[in-house]
Homo-oligomer: A and B are copies of this chain.
């Protein structure tokens, strides 16, 4: 019987031992990979996972492998104590919080399960150190990783795919749940799982928005009140585009222009606005059937992404 006080595991081997012990008892395991600083969006992934498996592992790990040197690894928000409280109060709870200190440390692994929580919350560790003996294996999903977020964040998806593969090999889940808010990421993980024959079922879970429409993101905390007001132009323009498409305005160049103009008028700096096939993520010229409208834009120093599935 699962306890509702989650077990905190920090060691890879202990994590795998737990999973194997549970599997040998016939239990199924769901994994929800996160970078912590949990919000309602993450908790909805847990609710989704609970539909599929008896046991739930939530990983909390800010993965240095997916950040470029010029990106916001050092300022990525974290609140491990708060995360634990949120996970404890989640309906039906979770079974394990997997919180490794450094997934790229291949030396003699230090067992920190007895350490203080402060130690676990310590500084990020780069995986780019230790030249010659350091981590050098990367998974590339070569076509899907190229467009959209892959253009401005060239090492992002190889870092995501690689750390997810590591988590799959450590946790050995039956099911893993990813948010459709990170749409390209979700499709890349699906493709990786298919192409590498991972025995993991990947579930895409619907995005959660705040009441004002802003897609939930750990990075929203960095928005000033003014920037947050401006950032509402993202969801507003996406809903407007969806309505327009449903009323017959299906030419993508026009829809994209409207979205770009709305966000720029509100003070956003566009990274991309694309209307793409939901699976191949290739650009489409006119909406026939299902597409997804994906956007990324800067508001102040914060880069936000959002998307909207549209079926006509």
Contacts and interface: CB of A to CB of B under 8 A. Distances in A.
A137 B140 contact: yes
Contacts of A196: 137, 139, 162, 165-166, 169
Contacts of A169: 196-199
Contact of A136 (B106, B170, B195): B195
Given A24-B24, A132-B280, A136-B191, A170 B143 contact: no
Tell me the number of copies of this protein.
Answer: 2
Contacts of A143: 132, 136
B135 A16 contact: no
B282 A132 contact: yes
Nearest to A140: B138
A84 to B, nearest CB: 24
Interface in A180-202: 191-192, 194-199
Nearest to A106: B194
Contact of A135 (B12, B195, B199): B195
Interface string A144-169: 10000000000000000110011001
Nearest to A15: B197
A133 interface: yes
Contact of A137 (B16, B132, B141, B172): B141
Which 7 residue pairs across A and B have the least CB separation, nearest first?
Answer: A137-B195, A169-B197, A166-B197, A136-B143, A136-B142, A137-B141, A137-B192
20 contacts: A24-B24, A104-B195, A106-B194, A106-B195, A132-B280, A132-B282, A136-B141, A136-B142, A136-B144, A136-B195, A137-B139, A137-B196, A138-B140, A138-B142, A139-B139, A140-B140, A162-B196, A166-B195, A166-B196, A169-B198
